Amino acid sequence: MNLDGLKTKYIGKNLIYYKEIDSTQTEAWRNNNLSNGTIIIADHQTAGKGTHGRKWTKNCSKDIAFSVKIDLNCDISKLSNITVDIAKIIVNEFKDLYNIKLDIKTPNDIILSHKKIGGILTETKVVGNTAKEMVIGIGINLCKQEFSEDLKDIATSIENEENIKIDRLKIITEFCNRVENLLLKI
């Protein structure tokens, strides 16, 4: 797996790929040997994490499920809008690369046609008022799929709504390029 077009200094330079894992987010926290900017990508997650401890279900191996570990040493207040800023990056990416208009349900849901297609989970290790580490998790439904009865009115995918196949590695690569620019300003 390769991120062609990567223009970063550190984000995405180290990539770990799993065909299946419990959660990319959990792996990023439990693996203490990850270098700054390491990305963990999975085709399938058996216990993907969403906000408030909710489970993130990933049905298609071509959907987006990844986490990136970031080393920090900044005042926690500098991260107050980080999730919304990351959501804006994702929305702008899909507009720029595929001319798809996504919306944000603040702070962390990505919306298409009034239904959720994805989300962002940012978790931070803080000592005192200093943010030391952050893991950014991204999940986005790309593939055509059927949703369970309890989700069909609130969840969808890019392919369900737009009938477009998205290159997940292109999205992840561009995310790395854009999010590093954001983080360099912190």
- Give the architecture (CATH level 2) of 15-184: 2-Layer Sandwich (3.30)
pLDDT digits (tens, 9 = 90+) for 152-172: 888 899 999 999 999 999 999
- Mean pLDDT, the chain, rounded, equals 92
Average pLDDT rounded to a whole number, residues 111-134: 96
At 136, is the pLDDT very low, low, confident or very high (cuts 50, 70, 90)? very high
- For the stretch 99-103, contacts whose Cβ atoms lie closer than 8 Å and that sit 24 or more positions apart, written own/partner, are 100/158, 100/162, 100/164
Q: Which of 54, 5, 3, 1 is nearest to 25 (CA)?
A: 54
Domain ranges across the chain: 15-184
At 173, is the pLDDT very low, low, confident or very high (cuts 50, 70, 90)? very high
Question: What is the per-residue pLDDT for 62?
Answer: 84
- Please name the helix (run of DSSP H) or strand (run of DSSP E) that holds residue 67, with its range, or none: strand 64-75
By mean pLDDT, which of 24-38, 45-59, 79-93, 137-151 is the weakest?
45-59
- Please name the helix (run of DSSP H) or strand (run of DSSP E) that holds residue 174, with its range, or none: helix 168-184
Q: What percent of the chain has pLDDT over 70?
A: 94
**Predicted TM-score (pTM) of this structure:** 0.92
